[in-house]
Chains A and B, each alone.
Chain A
């Protein structure tokens, strides 16, 4: 636990050489309204059944690029293997990571049709982020709670993690990616291959779900 916090701190420090002390002052109200508007944009894009698939996907992609600290989260998830990767592998990994994030959502357009979203009760501050609680409701499905961890990146609020039922997505995904690399003799390239295959599968599901 301790090492995670240290790594997090380190990661933030590298990502924000110019932000100064402002990042420690993440404001709860600002984070909540940021999540509110981001959520509304995402829900609008998902439920926009009049546009074609590509248009909806690019709308979702634009929201995610604006709202998520994709480079920071991607680096956090690759964790200790970032140093082992060549600059080309790092660049390709970040590209694939962004694509995975977008396709993971666009492959679920069908499932998420009619989704609604609202701010939950508890908004709380952690050491340097704010956790914004939301409730996701889908037709014919029990509502569930998602917590969004909002950090301050270069003076802008950005999503840095998503937490469901006490489980942080970036921690789970870091375990997953690291296991893939380890099971393949420490080759980062093996992860990149697996990610490409996964993106293809997501693209197929996206087509089938229409």
Chain B
């Protein structure tokens, strides 16, 4: 049974990655309990494959994502960027509200609904977060990955996905559910709607990367193994978010997996 638990995800991931078959992590020496404990703690049975994906990501990030984010920060003034982030957060309301309710958190659901009504009207469609600045109701993030976790679904093996960032099968499923359940995915068809959805996705990626410039720069500069640092930070931060321990640290615009949830590293 224990064997199945560790080898199955490995097998599945290896199948997915057939062309790139990088193999699974070396098993720890079973006679060394500390090594076995660490192997379990890291929860990364397909580490060599993940590290390959991480270097692919670093390549894309260096050439495209980071330069675009830096350009965005340079060209677009701070108040406008804040407005855009608020708007993206407001658009995430349906997903956050659904998950507040699925987790049986009526107070948080009330906050989310109240914020949506106030910010959409007084906040001019969500550009201004008046609910937070004038009514003291701060935004929080929720997603289907967190709900699955609250329901007792395990995270599964750690995954690093280029562009998206650190994840796992549970959070990835939640991410998919978030897209599928978002009314904006289904509002209609046609070029205009496609363009709007595409724009929103693009802006979300740029906004997320911009918010992480300082933290990821610090990791790249200071960590002796940035892959391991990000893995540890993602999993700790995710746990804190699931337990609603970090309060308002994650903005409402935060995504459900990957770099969207933030790195958990103070600048």
Contacts and interface: CB of A to CB of B under 8 A. Distances in A.
Interface in B216-267: 221-225, 227-229, 231-233, 236-237, 239-241, 245-246, 249, 262, 264-267
A165 B227 contact: no
Contacts of B221: 201
B232 A80 contact: no
A58 interface: no
B125 to A, nearest CB: 24
Nearest to B229: A176
Contact of B225 (A144, A168, A183): A183
Consensus secondary structure, chain B interface? helix
Interface stretch (B37-45, B95-103, B143-151): B37-45
Contacts of B237: 165-167
Contacts of A164: 264-266
B35 interface: yes
A128 to B, nearest CB: 19
B222 A198 contact: yes
Contacts of A194: 224
Contacts of B265: 164-165, 167, 172
Contact of A165 (B224, B232, B266): B266
B194 interface: no
A129 B220 CA distance: 32
A175 B228 contact: yes
B239 A166 contact: yes
A166 B266 CA distance: 10
A17 to B, nearest CB: 22
Interface in B37-93: 37-38, 41-42
6 contacts: A165-B249, A165-B262, A165-B266, A171-B232, A171-B236, A175-B229
Interface of B: 32, 34-35, 37-38, 41-42, 221-225, 227-229, 231-233, 236-237, 239-241, 245-246, 249, 262, 264-267
Interface of A: 3-4, 79-80, 83, 104, 141, 144-146, 164-168, 171-172, 174-180, 183, 191, 194-195, 198, 201
